[in-house]
Each structure stands twice: as C-alpha cells, then as structure tokens.
Amino acid sequence: MWVTFMNDSIFHEPVEEIQGQLEELRVRIRHHEYLYYIKSQPEISDGEYDTLFRSLLDLETKFPKLVTPDSPTQRVGAPPLDQFTKVLHDRPMQSLDSALGSEEVRAFDKRVRRELEVESVQYTLEPKYDGLSVELVYEHGVFVRGATRGDGLTGEDITTNLRTIRSLPLHLMGCESFPARAVIRGEVYLRLENFQDLNRRLTERGEESFANPRNAAAGALRQLDSRVTATRPLAISCYDLMVSSEEILPTHYESVSALAVWGFPIPSPRRRCDSIEEAMLFHQELWESRDRLPFEIDGIVIKVDRYDWQRTLGEKSRSPRWALAFKFPARKEITRIRQIVVSVGRTGALTPIALLDPVEVGGVTISRATLHNADEVSRKDVRPGDTVKVERAGDVIPDIVERVPVPGETRSDPFVAPDHCPVCQSAVIREGPIFYCTGQTVCPAQLKGALEHFVSKGALNIEGLGKKTVAQLVDRALIKDLSDIYTLAKDQVLSLEGFADKSASQLLEAIACAKQVSFERFLFGLGIRHVGSHVARVLANHFGSLENLMAAKRESLAQIAEIGPEISSAVETFFTEPRNLAVLARMKEISVQVEEAEGKLDKTRKPLEGKNFVLTGGLDGFTRPEAKHRIEQLGGHVTSNVSEQTDYVVAGKDPGSKLNQAIRLGVKILSEDELVQCLHGDLA
C-alpha cells in the first residue's frame, strides 16, 4: 500500500515501512523507560534517550495518522477537558477494613482460618500506599482507559492524566502472555521529594501549597488540563489484577508477579508468609523504616493469597472479607500555637514559623512547624493561641494543616509580616509572596547561613566548621564577610568554645588548603540564588574562569542551555552588587586562588565510566536522585542491588542491609565524604 499523508508535501512511502520504523523506535524507547522508571537501571544516557525520543516525535509529526495512543510521545498531556466523563467500573472498587492494633489482626486471622477450616493460611503482605486508587483497563496489552474510584461503582475517566505518569506502561511487555482484556488496580502517589519540590514551586509563586503528598497527588489527578498533570511527577504502584478475560493465576502473589513481568511497578517490599505473626513483623519493619522510604505509606495490607480461598471468604458490601489494612498510628495531631516567629534564611527570605505546644506526631515530638510565607498564614488564618492540626510526612518539616476552631475562644490579632528584619533591623522588601531582608551580609542571620554554605561539603569543604562554630564567629564579629574566614588567627579560633591547640591548628590548616579551590565549588559556595551545584558546574564549564563569568551580561548567560532568565538575572545582580565585588576583591588580595575550569571540565570526561554504585542510607549533602544524577553524569551506573558487579556501596546515615551485603561480598564501601571526593575526581 502507498499513501499520501500531508497536503503540502507528498510522501510516497510504503506505510508498512514507516510503521515498522515507528514501532521499532517505540519498542526501544519503552524498553529504556522501563529500565529508567521501574528498574532504576538506565542503560543509556539522558541525551541518548532524548535523541531517540526526538526521532520518534519527528516521524510522528510527519505522519500524524500513524500516531497510536500507546506511543511514548502521548504522555505530554492533551488540550483541557470541560469536565470528566463518568465511567462504570468493571467490578465495584472496594475499600479495605482496617485494624489499628495487633489484637484486631489476630482476630482477623482466627476468623479466616475458622471459616476456611484450615490450620494455617498463606498471606501476601504489601505496603499500603497513601495515595489514590485508580482502575486501569488494558486491551490486547494497550492502556485504553483509566478511572478514579469515585463512589466505588462509578468513577471519572482520567485516562489522559494517567498517561502522563512515566512509570505507567502504555503498552505492555511480553504481550504474548497478556490477557485480551485486563483490569488492574493501583495507587497513584507522589514521592516525597517531588511533593516538597512542588510545594516549594507553589509557595514561590504565591499559590497555596498542599498539606500532604496525597492531596497533592489528588490535585494533579483531578486537573482538567492534563498538561498541568504532566508537570507533576506522579508515580503508581499496581497491586491487583481484578478482571481478566483469560484464566487467572491461582494466587494473588503470582498475579502481582505477572504484573511486574508485563512492566508494571508493583508494591515493594512485598512478602508471602505462612502465619499472621510474620505480618506483625512486616508491620514493625515497615514502621521502623518508614521515614527512609521515598514515599508515604500508612500501614500494610494483609491479603489471603489463594484466589479460591478469597472466593470462599467472599465480600461485604464495601470491602472484601479476605483482606485487612493494618494501619500505622496517625501522623496528624492537634496542638496549640504558642507563638509565631520569623526566621531569616541564607537568602534573606523571611519564613514564619509556628512554635507549638510539643506534641507527638507518629512517634516524633514536634514543637515547630513551618508556615511557609505570610500569605499562607493569612490564608490559613492561624494566630498565636489557636488550636491547629499538625501533620508530618516522612522527614519533611511538619506542616500546619488547618486551624481547629474552638467554640467560645478569644483569638489574638492576626499575624503581620515585619517591615524590618527581626535579626538586623534592615528594611524588608516583598518579592511575590516572599519577604526578604535587604541586609545581605550585614545581617548576621544571612551571614551565618552564607558562611555555613560557603564551607559546606559541596563548596569549600572545610572540616571542623560546624553550625555552632559559624554562629560564634559571626556573633563575636570575628567574621563580617566571607573573606574574613581566610584571615582568622589562631588566638581567635582558640577563643571559641570547643577548640584546643590541636583542633585550632587543624581548622586553620583546612582553611589554608581551601584557599585553592575549583571554580565550580567556589561558585556554588557563593550561594547565589538559583545557583545550586549543577548550575554552578554548567556555568564553570561554560565560562572557564571567575573573571569571564563576572563580565557576563544576563543576555549572554541566558543563551546557555539550562540557564533560564531567573538564573541569568540572579548571577548578573550578584556580580554587580558593590558589597559582593568588594568581598571578591579582598579574597583576590589575600591570594585565594579560584582555579580555571578548562581541562578539568572537559565535558566528555567520564571518570566513573564502567563503575557500578549502590546507595544505602541517608546522605546529608544530596538527595538520592541528585547523587544518582551526579554519578551518572560522570559515566557511573547506580543500581539498587549489591552484587559481585558492584564496585562501590555508598553508605550514608542508617544504612540498610545493603551494607551487610557489601561487607559479605567484599565490595568497597564509601562514606559520603568519599563519594564527594569521587565526584570531584579525587579518589583513586
């Protein structure tokens, strides 16, 4: 067959050939998306992926009639809808009965065994994701429709929004074994780091932030404009194969394993066990590791594994009789605001903080919660003395969800943002929803923050200069701007708390060493707004020397890939501010050497090429994805399991079982400091 596809240019190509090319590209892209989003083991660089994706996009633009709904290009969102259409679920989407204590769980197991008339039952145990349940319909391996739970019988068609979820397969792998029609149920959620990131973006724009990741995920799923959903990196975990047109597997555990084979993200960790006591253990283990998980869970789900036994046990009107949610204690509590104070950050941003009557929330006592900015305080209308509901998500700073009105209460006056900095009394200016102290380095709060950042691991990396020492140096006026760090005298250091002769000499030696510093680290250390470690590297690569960068105008900065108008303007402003120029000039005078970037910053340099890394435990200076990104930029691979192929295991705070595996296999273990050295090419 020969076809003509476009009006203005005529293609005479065999459609089969084009279709073949399109299909080949789609299969390759799907494979790499699976490795990246589900396995976390990419085999190609982001750049190579982008090239593949662009080739597909170009070909589809030429042949729009050959675009299929399961193409990887169909994740970007479509024009907004007026409203969602209602859909009837294939089967009612039930909820779960829940238990809060172990007695209720044992009673459940007792009932199950009694009704089945058996001694022991196999259960599947899964985390209970705190998100929103959705129904996904696949026909011949292609995602055709997705819906919210709604009232359990009817939901809303959110197919286009669901398509934007990168880890949701649009076209299944291993289709030969896949049923002609399958209905799958899963939970859509937002990872904690993406939640924080989203809230940061929203508050910066003066929009209302979300109280928790679940609400944020719900907000994204309910968007009528799927292009907005596409900007919110939702994730999904699929835990149920509900209806299948073929014979289904005999157990839940095996069905979920089949989902994984077909390319679905599935609950992790999960376990199959022979007794309810193992469920107690799993609950305990997840409870303890909960704060280290990158997403929110609110308990575990216990499911009778055999489908025939599930059928025997049957269901109630809204929940099955063969499953139970064993919840964790709540993370929301009620307490009272004692006072609202304003803290001043490194950039001068003023953040209102609520000081609370201490309250235990999910096992941790909290006495402070962030109120983000002044607009947020008025929107929530919280005032000193008010009773409020506080919530804690993972390690995220606790948040005030809402005020709880108390009948007959007398309230204090509303909070008013200060017009002078509470630390240095300089004038306060407003930029969007954020108030800033104009004091810059005159403001001790800003100077402390700036100094902490300047000496931190990713910047000058001066050991022995912790938060407390920095505070003393600033409070005693031993440091008035960043350049003073290099001229500290021994008797000054000795006058600080916690220093003796040896530690003082060590600190001064570390400072002397840091007089010679790479351009990239120095630039990052200056703490220019929007210039994090990645941007600092891009700028250092591009300009090669501090002098070149200082001379750059915002127009030329904005030409550089990855440098937008906000960064350009922040950099230009920083290097035109006389106070900053004076500090830099003084540093030059006292022979601080900012190395030129050429050679060292050769973009093709891949010092970690062929090296496999595994990360375990929390890192101070990076988020996990950041660490992964930095390693991959230098050619290394980050995998999730320790094996003989692993070259390094990076052990952060509270490392998991991967550390033991590394020790067993004799794999080299790196501390976070050693990782930093490694990233700077300083480790053999």
CB nearer to ligand IVH: pick between 187 and 333 = 187
Smallest gap from Cβ 364 to ligand IVH, in A, equals 23
Q: Determine the length of the chain.
A: 684
Return the HEC string of 307-363: HHHHHHHCECCCCECCEEEEECCCCEEEEEEEEEEEEECCCCEEEEEEEEEEEEECC
CB nearer to ligand IVH: pick between 60 and 298 = 298
Site for ligand IVH in 93-152 (CB under 6 A): 94-96, 126, 128-129, 133
User: What gap in Å lies between CA 540 and CA 474, rounded to an integer?
Assistant: 30
Do strands 323-327 and 98-99 pair parallel, antiparallel, or not at all (unpaired)?
Answer: parallel
Place of tokens 């009948």: 407
CB nearer to ligand IVH: pick between 99 and 323 = 323
Query: What angle, 0 to 180 degrees and rounded to 10, lies between the N-to-C axes of helices 15-33 and 46-62?
Result: 150
Binding range to ligand IVH, per CB under 6 A, among 32-40, 54-62, 89-97, 663-671: 89-97
CB nearer to ligand IVH: pick between 190 and 350 = 190
Contacts of 56-61 spanning 24+ positions with Cβ under 8 A: 56/22, 56/25, 56/26, 56/29, 59/18, 59/21, 59/22, 59/25, 60/22
Binding range to ligand IVH, per CB under 6 A, among 91-99, 194-202, 440-448, 572-580: 91-99
User: By CB under 6 A, is residue 260 in contact with ligand IVH?
Assistant: no
User: By CB under 6 A, is residue 60 in contact with ligand IVH?
Assistant: no
Kindly tell me which residue out of 63, 239, 295, 522 binds ligand IVH, with binding defined by CB under 6 A: 239
Smallest gap from Cβ 228 to ligand IVH, in A, equals 23
Smallest gap from Cβ 306 to ligand IVH, in A, equals 15
User: By CB under 6 A, is residue 264 in contact with ligand IVH?
Assistant: no
Question: Closest-CB residue for ligand IVH?
Answer: 133
Smallest gap from Cβ 296 to ligand IVH, in A, equals 11
User: By CB under 6 A, is residue 189 in contact with ligand IVH?
Assistant: no
Kindly tell me which residue out of 211, 220, 301, 571 binds ligand IVH, with binding defined by CB under 6 A: 301
Kindly tell me which residue out of 92, 320, 385, 618 binds ligand IVH, with binding defined by CB under 6 A: 320
CB nearer to ligand IVH: pick between 170 and 217 = 217
CB nearer to ligand IVH: pick between 121 and 445 = 121
User: By CB under 6 A, is residue 335 in contact with ligand IVH?
Assistant: no
- Alpha-carbon separation of residue 625 from 194, 238, 618, 652 (angstroms): 11, 23, 12, 14
670, 650 contact by CB (below 8 A): yes
Smallest gap from Cβ 329 to ligand IVH, in A, equals 16
238, 266 contact by CB (below 8 A): yes
Pick left, alpha or beta for residue 71 (phi over 0 → left; psi -120 to 50 → alpha; otherwise beta).
beta
Smallest gap from Cβ 299 to ligand IVH, in A, equals 9
CB nearer to ligand IVH: pick between 123 and 613 = 123
Query: What are 267's two structure tokens?
Result: 């609950």
# residues near ligand IVH by CB under 6 A: 15
User: By CB under 6 A, is residue 295 in contact with ligand IVH?
Assistant: no
Q: Which amino acid is at 419?
A: D
Query: What are 37's two structure tokens?
Result: 């989003």
Smallest gap from Cβ 332 to ligand IVH, in A, equals 16
List, in sequence order, the alpha helices (H) in 180-229: 192-204, 213-221, 226-229
Q: Which residues are catalytic?
A: 128
Smallest gap from Cβ 35 to ligand IVH, in A, equals 24
Kindly tell me which residue out of 279, 323, 382, 567 binds ligand IVH, with binding defined by CB under 6 A: 323
User: By CB under 6 A, is residue 187 in contact with ligand IVH?
Assistant: yes
User: What gap in Å lies between CA 449 and CA 182, rounded to an integer?
Assistant: 55
DSSP state of 530: T
User: By CB under 6 A, is residue 253 in contact with ligand IVH?
Assistant: no
Query: What are 43's two structure tokens?
Result: 């085999």
Buried b (16+ CB within 10 A) or exposed e, 346-366: bbbbbbbbbebeebebbeeeb
User: By CB under 6 A, is residue 302 in contact with ligand IVH?
Assistant: no
CB nearer to ligand IVH: pick between 142 and 325 = 325
- The residues near 337 (Cβ < 8 Å, ≥ 6 apart) are 354, 355, 356, 382, 383, 384, 385, 386, 388, 400
Contact positions vs ligand IVH (CB under 6 A): 94-96, 126, 128-129, 133, 187, 239-240, 267, 301, 320, 323, 325
